[in-house]
Amino acid sequence: QKEVEQNSGPLSVPEGAIASLNCTYSDRGSQSFFWYRQYSGKSPELIMFIYSNGDKEDGRFTAQLNKASQYVSLLIRDSQPSDSATYLCAVNGKGSNYQLIWGAGTKLIIKP
């Protein structure tokens, strides 16, 4: 089992709909969770981070964390074609306070 798992996709969503991206992690001790967006040929850029159970909203983005289920998700409301990218989930792991363990990413395609 990989330490951080994501469905590779592609996930195809119509423009204006809600895109839901999921991530599961194996280390129960993980405390910090990050979502990054990576356009093709570019470097990852931070979208959101979440540390506490529940929802955290920032504009069109909502991160959801459920530590009991070891599950973190990212919702994108009113999806736009510019949201088409690979979304990477990263989790602090191995009892580390600095090292991030990364999923392989989910490719999201927003269809006009």
Partner 1 sequence: GAGVSQSPRYKVAKRGQDVALRCDPISGHVSLFWYQQALGQGPEFLTYFQNEAQLDKSGLPSDRFFAERPEGSVSTLKIQRTQQEDSAVYLCASSAGLAGVYEQYFGPGTRLTVT
Nearer to partner 1, 49 or 61 (CB): 49
Return the residue of 11, 49, 61, 109 that touches partner 1, per CB under 8 A: 49
Considering only 11-19, 30-38, 53-61, 71-79, which stretch makes contact with partner 1 by CB under 8 A?
30-38
The verdict on 74 binding partner 1 (CB under 8 A) reads no
For β-strands 85-92 and 106-111, DSSP reports them as antiparallel
* φ/ψ (deg, to 5) at 71: -140, 135
- Determine the Cα–Cα distance for residues 27 and 33; give it in Å rounded to an integer: 12
Quick check: 58 binds partner 1 (CB under 8 A)?
A: no
Closest C-alpha among 35, 29, 70, 69 to residue 50: 35
User: What b/e sequence results for 36-52 when a residue is b if at least 16 CB atoms lie within 10 Å of its CB, and e otherwise?
Assistant: bbeeeeeebeebbebee
Supply the Cα-derived Rg of the chain in whole angstroms: 13
Work out whether 10 is an interface residue with partner 1 (CB under 8 A).
no
Q: Does 85 bind partner 1 (CB under 8 A)?
A: no
Binding-site size, partner 1 (CB under 8 A): 24
Q: Which is nearer to partner 1, 2 or 14 (CB)?
A: 2
Applying CB under 8 A, the residues found at the interface with partner 1 are 4, 8, 31-32, 34, 42-46, 49, 88, 90, 92, 96-105
